[in-house]
Each structure stands twice: as C-alpha cells, then as structure tokens.
A and B are shown apart, each in its own frame.
Chain A
Amino acid sequence: MDATLTLVVDGRPTTLTVDTRTTVLDALREHLDATSPKKGCDHGQCGSCTVLCNGRRVLACLSLAVAHDGDEITTAEGLAPEGERHAVQVAFLEADAYQCGYCTPGQICSAVGMLDEAAAGHPSAVSGDVAAPPTLDRTEIAERMSGNLCRCAAYVNIVTAIERVHAGETAR
C-alpha cells in the first residue's frame, strides 16, 4: 500500500510516495538521500537514528513516515545553516567526542534535543528531587544521553563536549 506524504527535512519540504511500511529512517536514507541518521539496531535500542521531529529528539527507526506527514525532521546535517556548524558539533570536534563516528549524528541530535529539555526544566532519573529544577552536571548528562549507545565507548568525551556547550564554552 502506497501513501503520499510531505516531510520537511532540514528545512526543505519534500513530497514523496512510499509504501506505508516505510519508517522515517528509511524515507530519509533510501528516498531523500539524507544519510546522516544511521541504522544501527533498527529496533529502538541504540539511538543512532536519532533526529529532531518538530524540535524534539525521537527515533526515526520506530516512526512510520506515513504518520509524520507535514512534520519537520531535522538531521545532524540540518542543525546549522549550510557551511556552518552547530555548537554541539563544534564541541564534539574539540572534545574528540567520537571514534568511528557511526553513532555521532544521532549523539549530536540527541544532545541538541536534550539540552533544550534541560533548559525547559525537565527532570531526569538522577535528579535528586524530582520537583526541583535540575542542575546539568556530568551525571545528569550521562543519564539523559543513555538512549545513545557508542560501541567505541567515547562516552567520557561525549559528556565533556555536552558539558562545554551547556557551560557556554562553545559558541553556537
């Protein structure tokens, strides 16, 4: 069964006709040549397909494209204007927050979404008092990023990169 839908990918509206079984991840990678979101597990367990959907971090592999008609999808490629880098991308470079790089676009999109959630005052599982405004320290960052696995285990520098962005040490 085919469906025709529009995805606004990195600011560009694109109308496409796909099988209803197509995930947002496959629509991006196989139909729209947006290959920065990666297919790791394809079952919602690794986070490498993380994109922003209408500004919030989600897993593209568990999202059916047909259910996202009209939605704005932002991949790591679309976080900053053409030719520029987002502060989180700069921080990942400066902190050496990756090794093989496969999980990195998902880590970066997840970090961007996570920083917005923290700025909005969302608590986490390690916030001592769930009713109090959270303080984004290394423990909080690690917990909030737990949905993104890195098999090279670059976690220490990923947390450092995000910590620097949060502290305003990296210009956006």
Chain B
Amino acid sequence: MKPFTYARPDDAAGAVDLVAGDPDAAFLAGGTNLVDHLKLGIASPTTLVDVTSLTSDRIDDLPPAHGDTDGGLRIGAAVRNSDLAAHGRVRAEYPVLAEALLQGASGQLRNMATTGGNLLQRTRCAYFGDRTTPCNKREPGSGCSAIGGWARYHAILGATHEPAGQACVATHPSDMAVAMAVLDAQVQVLGPDGERTIPLEEFHRLPGDDPTRDTVLRHGELITAVDLPAAPIATSSTYRKVRDRASYAFALVSVAAAMEVVDGPDGPVVADVRIALGGVAHTPWRATRAEDALRGGPATDEAFRAAAAAETAGARPIESAVGGNAFKVPLVAGTLAAALRTLAHDPSTDPTEEPG
C-alpha cells in the first residue's frame, strides 16, 4: 500500500474542494471496496478525504411531486446498506430495493457499506484485481484478459470486444444499483461547480472506448443523496439473484422487476412493467426491450421468456475453454421469467405449479 495523507474536512463542500484540487486524491466512505483496492495496489491515492460523516445518514420523506398523492424518499449518501434494507417504507413500498440489498455481501459489509459508495463499487473482474495480468480498465492499452479467459462473471451485453487495447467485458457488481434502476432513482451530486442531479440510468456508463471510467462523475464530484420517486408499481416488485453459492457471492445474473397485472378477457395482462438486469453488463442494465415486449400483452411464462429473448437478441457471450459465459443467455430468460411469475401471483402462469 502506498502512503497517503488522511483528511476529514468540516463539511461536504470542503471535501469536494480538496479532492477536486488534487488529481491524486480520493473520497473514502465505508471503505469496503477502496481499502481492499489500496491493499491490492490497484488504487493508490496520495490523499484520502473521509466523507463518512459529511453527508446525511438519514432517509427522509420527499414531498409529493406535482400531480402525485405520495412522495418518494431521499436516501443520504452515508446511509448504510443494512439501515436502508431495514427501513419500513423501503420494505413496504420498494421491496425490490430491500431484497437486492439483503442479497448483497454479508451482514458485516452491509453495516459498513454506504449508499453513495455502493454506486461507485468497481468491477469484481478477477483480472482487474490482479496487477500481474493485462486489463484495459486498470492499465489502458494492456489488453483484456477476460476475453478467452475466466469470464464466468462477465458481460454479455454492451461490452467492448475490439480493438484489443480498449476491450472490456467487466460487469458492475452492485445489486442495489440494479434495483434502483427500476425505481428511476436520481443521484444528487455536489461538485466544484455546484449541485447537479444525474438519473441513475445515466450514472453508470458502458466501457465504450474508455473502460477506465465506470460512471459519468467527474473527479471531485461527491454523491450526497439518492432520491427515489414515488412509484406505486414498486409495491409489486422483487429482486432475484443467481450466484455460485447460496449467499455472500456476486451475481452471475440478477433481475430487478416491478409489474402491474390486470385481468383481461383472455387472462392476466401486463399493464406496466419495469425490468433491470445485473451481472450482464458494465452498468445496471435497464431491459427496455423486454419491457416493451411485455407491456399490454399476456402475463404468461411464454411471454416472459419471449421478452427475455428480445432483450438478449444482441448478446455477445464470451467463448472460453476455461469458463465462458454463454450460459447467461438462457439464465436471463429463466431468472426473468421466475421473477415475473412471482409478481403475476397467478399459478396458471407458472409451469412448475400443477393445476389443482
């Protein structure tokens, strides 16, 4: 670990000034990702600016937006993952978010990890974390070891495969962010030029020609809060995660879904639906193709699987003798269908249920 200076300014604006004015400075919050990266030598800031006590650790009710009867929630950036998952309104009104948080990491880590820090987690790609291997995200132009390597946890959508010096097939590891993607969350940011709001859907970026950048945040910009708009559809929402062990593991594939089903003349119909996928891309992946395929159509297992197929039509799995990821295409279909069956509340859509 490289030596660093530790600073704890009096307020968030002071922290922003310190980091913005020093290209080698970094914010420190819960530390669950950054401290590990300091040890691994893949992050080496010369100044760490501790913001843990400088942003809100409260979850506040937001007033109703114009035309709405209910208001949403403002989640302070310093709110711990465990406190967010345990919050009464989150559990009752945004169950997808509570479920996603509880399926991430461990009890200890959830007590440490903050809302702001969770959004800024870096990929868990094994090659990114190993300085002895080429990685364009860590060392631009060095190549991508995951393409043709151990790519079990890697992207099938939106990745960069060519040219070799820009290739990146890393995935974003957060469960929380996948849930927030279907909640149309808004990220509140304080920067050297003042405040701005970034929709969560635009917050993370695909690798494109610069895989070193995970988000659209500029150096020195600090997340101060995440707003959840009121979302009646979210009362019927869920998070389903598939991983290599039953707990305390990152997602191979995950699905965040919210769905409203109404009765139609020929059976239940999808009135509205929101879907995001985890473990498949460099960002939480809002599955708009699948949503469009489902909206207004029958809420059947067949339709759920067809919607997944529409979303993954452009997938580019990685072939590898030591661990490719072509299995993710059918896994998305199965996981998405299972999540939506749970929300349809109708055993007739579930092929695993025997008719009574």
Instruction: Give A contacts to B, CB under 8 Å.
Output: 1, 3, 19-21, 23, 42-44, 47, 50, 56-59, 62-64, 66-67, 110, 113-114, 117, 120-125, 127, 130-131, 142-148
Contacts and interface: CB of A to CB of B under 8 A. Distances in A.
B352 interface: no
A56 B1 CA distance: 27
Interface string B21-44: 000000010011001101110000
B114 interface: no
A43 B35 CA distance: 9
Contacts of B36: 43-44, 62
A98 to B, nearest CB: 19
B31 A147 contact: no
B106 interface: yes
A123 B234 CA distance: 18
Interface stretch (B92-100, B144-152, B158-166, B304-312): B92-100
A57 B110 CA distance: 10
Interface string B86-106: 100001100100110011011
B105 A120 contact: no
Contact of B86 (A123, A144, A145): A123
B247 interface: yes
B339 to A, nearest CB: 14
A148 B105 CA distance: 11
Contact of B35 (A57, A63, A148): A63
Contacts of A66: 6
Given A3-B6, A64-B28, A64-B31, 11 more contacts: A1-B5, A21-B3, A21-B38, A43-B36, A44-B32, A47-B106, A62-B31, A64-B6, A64-B48, A130-B91, A130-B98
Contacts, number: 109
Contact of A117 (B28, B40, B107): B107
A62 B35 contact: yes
Contact of A19 (B3, B52, B248): B3
A126 to B, nearest CB: 8
Contacts of B105: 147
B108 interface: yes
A18 to B, nearest CB: 11
Contact of A1 (B4, B52, B108, B246): B4
A118 B330 CA distance: 37
B139 interface: no
Interface in B185-232: none
B102 A20 contact: no
A4 B254 CA distance: 44
B109 A1 contact: no
A66 to B, nearest CB: 5
